[in-house]
Amino acid sequence: MVTASPGGTEYRALETIRQYGRERLAEAGELVDIRSRHLRWCLAQAAGLAEVRADWRARFDLVADDLRAALAWAADRSEQRADAYDLARLLAELTFTRNLTGESQRRYEQAAALATDPAAGASMLRQAAAVAGCRTVGDDMYRLRRAAADAARSAGDTAGAAADLASAATIAFRFSTTFVRLPAREEALALVTEAGEPAGDDPAAQAAVALAEAAVLTDAFGAAQGPPENAVPETIARAERAVELARRTGDPLAESAALDALTGAQSWAGDTFATADTARRRIALLSSLPVSPAGTHELIDALGIVTEAGLGAGDVPGARRWARQLADHPSLAEVGHRATCRLLMVDALAGNVNEVLTGSVRFLDAWRRAGSPARSLLCPAVAAVAMIHGLRDDHDARREWQEVLDQLGTPMEHIYGYGAVFDAILLLHRGQAPQALQRMAPEPRQVWKWVTWIWHHWYVALRAEAAVLARSPDAGVTVAEARTVVAGNPVATALVERAQALLDDDQERLLATADALDAAGCRYQAARTLVLAGGDHAARGVAALADLGLSPPPTHDDLGVGRGRLRR
């Protein structure tokens, strides 16, 4: 059979002819020799694909089935075990490069099972765990690092085993949202204790244990309603020690993981801008590293964190740039819902309606194909899409996305995080300021910053506006307190200044906030400000909202804004 391919003309035998050929070779006693020669050819082809060139994908696809067939045969024959291990390892690397992450993980695990050297097996299991991380499968990450510890211990590598045990514990805390069945906290704590003694003086093991200890401390705060005031300095000190130990190893991946712990500690301290700065340090550290499973996993996580931290600090253009990079990352091709969740969140707050509608199709399709996993990390994206449909007055679509949110299950501790922010934006858009204020009834200091995470400044600013529009007697105090909290955040500051302008009936100041919001990348809030300004400005604002694909909110007069009426 003759077929055309990117590499030229191909000649393939029909399956019936191939079966006949195998039977004749078996009868002649030559089948094993032919299979062995085919295996050696496949090993040479796989090794030749190590260098990625322009035609790499076509060259891999041309021989991929041969590689798989040769491996399937060799893996069952004890005399071919060494070659089978080499081919499984090479195929794992190649399928990762081809972005077939599910197969890559399986091949790394297969290579570990075929390895005759426990140290090589441990290495393969660590790679498999990293690929599982790219696939955001926390259960597999945890299982594989524990298996790597067992293999390292069998090889006499006590320091390596300690690092694996500590890494498994860190995974249980750091990537808890990626688990289907999260290990008991006591189990993870036992791993940290078990890792401590054999770590000895090994720098990498010490850094891994320090990171695990920092993760344990931060998780302890997660079980409570925020860290005690006197524990915040200890948390930061633990995270900074982990960063320093990781830096001494010269391993950028270890340093990046420790910096991630530091972002958590800084966020608990309420230092929004330090959190964003540390998140950007991770990106700078990882951006020039060669592609590898562990490096890709760390970069994917770093892009998600820097997106959220940037959004929390009011850097909407930066957050969108990082979220776009995450959504387009080829290693997330198999998990489109995880790839797009941050971008949906950013685009919703920016007012990029068309982008939300397009991205939500990919998200929903990928989520359903993945079996509709109930992952809390996806909740803000789903709530964001539901809000956009609410702003469009598309009640059926909003109801559909609310049902998805119900399936995911909103953790109670997040009720005043993204839930309050997206609900308040929609309620304020509809002119329901008293309901918005009720939705954000707790004062900001009553809501732990880790729960609100990136939403703290958004919560504070929107609550100030709700207080003004709802004619709260404490509106002036609420606005003044909010201004102090959000200072330095361009978006939140503009929202608070808008609330002050509404309270003071200062139209010039109000229009200035429209310009500030537009410059900060928040087209929806800029357009809504024009509506709040009333008169000809309101007509421009309604037109701008229509251009975005959104329904018009109540006008200046409908809300009773202006001429000092908000002070009554």
Q: What is the C-alpha separation between 10 and 386, in angstroms, rounded?
A: 51
Q: Which residue has the tokens 């309420």?
A: 270
DSSP assignment letter at 178:
G
Q: What is the C-alpha separation between 314 and 452, in angstroms, rounded?
A: 15
Task: Find out whether 449 and 442 touch, Cβ atoms under 8 Å.
Answer: no
Quick: pLDDT tens for 287-326. 889 989 999 999 999 999 999 999 999 999 999 999 999 9
Measured in degrees and rounded to the nearest 5, phi and psi for residue 482 equal -65, -40
Mode of pairing for the β-strands spanning 8-11 and 2-5: antiparallel
DSSP H helices in 175-251: 185-199, 203-223, 232-249
| Residue of 348, 351, 342 lying closest to 319 (CA atoms) | 342
HSE of 78, CA atoms in CB hemisphere, 13 A = 0
Task: Find out whether 126 and 144 touch, Cβ atoms under 8 Å.
Answer: yes
Instruction: Determine the pLDDT at residue 93.
Output: 97
State both tokens at 97: 């490069």
**How many other β-carbons are positioned within 10 Å of the β-carbon of residue 47?**
12
Region for residue 293 given its phi and psi (left: phi exceeds 0; alpha: psi -120 to 50; beta: otherwise): alpha
HSE of 84, CA atoms in CB hemisphere, 13 A = 21
Q: What is the C-alpha separation between 554 and 446, in angstroms, rounded?
A: 31
381-407 burial code (b ≥16 CB/10 A, e <16): bbbbbbbbbbbbebeebbeebbebbee
- Return the H-helix or E-strand segment holding 75: none
Q: What is the C-alpha separation between 267 and 214, in angstroms, rounded?
A: 14
Q: Which amino acid would we find at residue 350?
A: A
Query: Hey, is 330 helix, strand or coil?
Result: helix
Q: Which residue has the tokens 């320090």?
A: 210
Average pLDDT per block of 10 residues along the chain, 568 residues long: 58 68 66 84 95 89 94 93 96 95 97 97 97 93 97 95 95 89 90 85 90 76 51 82 93 94 86 95 93 94 96 97 95 89 97 97 94 88 97 96 89 78 96 96 76 86 97 96 96 98 95 97 97 93 96 69 51
Instruction: Determine the pLDDT at residue 72.
Output: 95
Q: What is the C-alpha separation between 18 and 34, in angstroms, rounded?
A: 13
Q: Which amino acid would we find at residue 420?
A: A
DSSP H helices in 49-100: 56-74, 81-97
CA 173, 179, 184, 190 dihedral sign is negative
Quick: pLDDT tens for 326-339. 999 998 888 899 99
| Residue of 451, 458, 452, 414 lying closest to 436 (CA atoms) | 458
DSSP assignment letter at 314:
T
pTM: 0.87
Instruction: Determine the pLDDT at residue 563.
Output: 45
